[in-house]
Structure 1
C-alpha cells in the first residue's frame, strides 16, 4: 500500500471484496441463510484474517522453538446443582 498507487490498491481490494460478496451471496442462497449477515464480510477481511495471521505466527514460533502448548485443566469438584424451577 505504501509503494503502490493508493487508488489502484483500494479499487483492487473493493473488486476482490465484490467478488467475495457475490460468492458468499450464492452460498447463502444455496444454504437458505439470511442475507443480512453479508455485511460482516468486510470485517472478516480487516479483523479476523489479521487475527488468524497472528495465531499462525505464534504457532509457528512455538513449533520452531520446541515449545509445547498444554491443555488447561478444569478443577473438578463433583458437585452438581439443580437449576431453579426444574421439576416443578
Structure 2
C-alpha cells in the first residue's frame, strides 16, 4: 500500500476520532488476493481501544487470521 506523506496519520486519527478502526491493508480484496475478507488491522487494534473495537471484543471477540500469501512463482519453462 503506497500512501502519501501524512496519510497514514490522517487515517488513524480519523478512525480514533470516529471511535472506529482501520482495515488491514493486506486483507483488502483487491489486487492479487480478491478472495481475501476484510479484517481489522492488528497494529491498530494493539495500539488503540475505540468504541467499536470494544464492542466487537465484548460481543464476538477476535479471530487471528494470517494475511494471504503471495502467489508461488511459476516454474521456469524448459526450452528444448
Query: Is this a same-fold pair by TM over 0.5?
Result: no
Larger radius of gyration: 1
Task: State TM-score, norm by structure 2.
Answer: 0.29
Q: Which has the higher helix share?
A: 1
Higher-RCO chain (CA-CA 8 Å, sequence separation at least 6) = 2
